[in-house]
Structure 1
Amino acid sequence: MSHTTVNCITPFLPAKDFDLSLRFYKDLGFIEVAKIDNAVRLEMNGNSFWLQDYYIEEWANNTMLCLYLDDLAAWWKDVKAINIAENYEGKAKVFAEPHGQEGGQMMQIGDPAGVLWHIREGN
């Protein structure tokens, strides 16, 4: 097998309510960089994913992503400012505020479709 440089791996995430999920991610700081008929590519600092207007509950509820940051305290401040509990119709959630785990700091949030994000400080 020949080897080549991998430039990026980009997952596709489900959206039960596409407009609500898109607003959620934009409020977190992701920007829209591409669009096709039923999906948008969202990016932050060169890292991206496709948010698609497609939903299967079992898939959404079993999707987890890890986001690694340099400064979890700054991220938490931004998350608190968008008031997830009230601004996303009760569908997005903060499951765990920043706490120590596995030798570092982490938190968990769920998007409006049920996708779980593990947000960790470090790499």
Structure 2
Amino acid sequence: MISIDATDLRTFVPAQDFALSLRFYAALGCELEWSDENLALFRLGGSRFYLQNFHVREWAENSMLHLSVRDAAACFRDISGLIADGDFPGARVAPPRQEPYGALVTYVWDPSGVLLHLAQWDAP
């Protein structure tokens, strides 16, 4: 077996409307580190991901990001308020749900259909 000796892992997230998705992820608290007209690098906590100005519906609707959060219920309240005014068409959020694997999870769909799992691990 070889050792790749990796120091980082980043995923690519598709965007149907790149400008809208840039605003959405920034509103969620993701820090934009770099961008051009086709790619943006965001930091969230100790992780990074690329937002790509490229969209295939089937890919977007089958893409998921799992994020560990401190308070899934607070995430639900905050994101519900964020998308309630209609500034992020296509975005939606579901109330927190206790999953059998132990996390309390708020599900969020970004404007392109990418599913975010906001998982609280210390939930009762």
TM-score, normalised with respect to structure 2: 0.85
Could you say what secondary structure the match of 2:7 adopts?
Answer: coil
Q: Do the aligned partners of residues 85 and 9 (structure 1) sit closer, same or farther apart at CA in structure 2, a change above 3 Å counting?
A: farther
- Distance in 2 separating the partners of 1:84 and 1:3: 47
Alignment of 1:37-52 (within 5 A): 37-52=37-52
Query: Does the aligned pair in 2 maintain the 1:28–1:78 contact within 8 Å?
Result: no
Post-superposition shift, 1:48?
A: 1.2
Could you say what secondary structure the match of 2:119 adopts?
Answer: strand
Residue of structure 2 in register with 1:98 after alignment: 96
- Distance in 2 separating the partners of 1:116 and 1:31: 19
- Distance in 2 separating the partners of 1:35 and 1:86: 25
Q: Which moved more, 1:49-58 or 1:64-73?
A: 64-73
Residue of structure 2 in register with 1:115 after alignment: 114
- Distance in 1 separating the partners of 2:83 and 2:37: 30
Post-superposition shift, 1:85?
A: 6.7
- Distance in 1 separating the partners of 2:53 and 2:109: 17
Identity fraction in percent: 34
- Following TM superposition, the consecutive aligned residue runs of length 4 or more in structure 1 with deviations greater than 3 angstroms are none
- Distance in 1 separating the partners of 2:37 and 2:82: 28
Counting matched residue pairs gives 121
Q: Which moved more, 1:101-110 or 1:67-76?
A: 67-76
Q: Do the aligned partners of residues 70 and 6 (structure 1) sit closer, same or farther apart at CA in structure 2, a change above 3 Å counting?
A: farther
Q: Do the aligned partners of residues 85 and 57 (structure 1) sit closer, same or farther apart at CA in structure 2, a change above 3 Å counting?
A: farther
Q: What amino acid does structure 1 have at the position aligned with 2:31?
A: I
Query: Does the aligned pair in 1 maintain the 2:12–2:52 contact within 8 Å?
Result: yes
| Structure 2: gaps of 5 or more residues | none
Residue of structure 2 in register with 1:54 after alignment: 54
Could you say what secondary structure the match of 1:73 adopts?
Answer: helix
Q: Do the aligned partners of residues 85 and 7 (structure 1) sit closer, same or farther apart at CA in structure 2, a change above 3 Å counting?
A: farther
Tell me, yes or no, if structure 1 residue 19 matches structure 2 residue 19. Answer: yes
| Structure 1: gaps of 5 or more residues | none
RMSD: 2.0
